[in-house]
A and B are shown apart, each in its own frame.
Chain A
Amino acid sequence: AQSVTQPDIHITVSEGASLELRCNYSYGATPYLFWYVQSPGQGLQLLLKYFSGDTLVQGIKGFEAEFKRSQSSFNLRKPSVHWSDAAEYFCAVGTMNRDDKIIFGKGTRLHILP
């Protein structure tokens, strides 16, 4: 069965510092991989997705993620965080079945220090 692990429940970084959020997945084939962000009172917003091809994926808001098959990882990075990046971040794997349902990790809450 597919699963996603986000080992860090909370992460705190200073504004302007770099960020890396970790994600490991379990899936029997090449997965679809996603990163979503959820701000208080807001719906989930897609930051980026990986389906195939280039393993370094660029997303919105200056985020990028790298797919590493050998490590079953899909870590999210940003070179310089802004206070507005404080939110909950979810890594997710999409099934290759016709239903396209998404399996989410438990999330990492990002705190930004001024």
Chain B
Amino acid sequence: DTGVSQNPRHKITKRGQNVTFRCDPISEHNRLYWYRQTLGQGPEFLTYFQNEAQLEKSRLLSDRFSAERPKGSFSTLEIQRTEQGDSAMYLCASSFALHGDEQFFGPGTRLTVL
């Protein structure tokens, strides 16, 4: 297994457009997390899934954001009507559902909203 993968690695879009990112976790991991990292900050938790169930969403995740994980495998994060403030690195991580188990991070998708 090659680890967590994310696509695309970079996305440039115009304000108001919709964008979708994909995360493929490590295959045997049943937990999947999304984080957002802005310049000069550490990653901030957005949401997480256990299998296909989305169990928690941060208040950072406005109504314009939606995440899915159909069949408990890959996950998508969609941002509708993008704003310049959405420009950030979006990170995905996966882990076993064992309490305290290590989260393995993907390389991230860097979003730039013009």
Within 8 A of B (CB), among A58-114: 90, 92, 94, 98-107
A101 touches B48 (CB 8 A): yes
Select A104's contact among B3, B43, B55, B101, beta carbons within 8 Å.
Answer: B43
Q: How large is the interface on A (under 10, 10 to 19, 20 to 34, 35 or more residues)?
A: 20 to 34
Q: How far is the CA of A98 from the CA of B100 in the complex (A)?
A: 9
A104 touches B44 (CB 8 A): yes
- A-B pair count, CB < 8 Å, reads 55
Given A100-B99, A100-B100, A41 and B42 contact (CB-CB distance below 8 Å) = no
Q: How large is the interface on B (under 10, 10 to 19, 20 to 34, 35 or more residues)?
A: 20 to 34
Q: Is B105 an interface residue, CB under 8 A from the partner?
A: yes
Binding site for B on A (CB under 8 A): 4, 9, 32, 36, 41-46, 49, 51, 90, 92, 94, 98-107
Other than the given A44-B43, A100-B103, A104-B44, 13 more pairs (CB < 8 A) read A36-B105, A43-B91, A43-B106, A44-B93, A45-B105, A90-B42, A98-B99, A99-B55, A100-B31, A101-B48, A102-B43, A106-B40, A106-B42
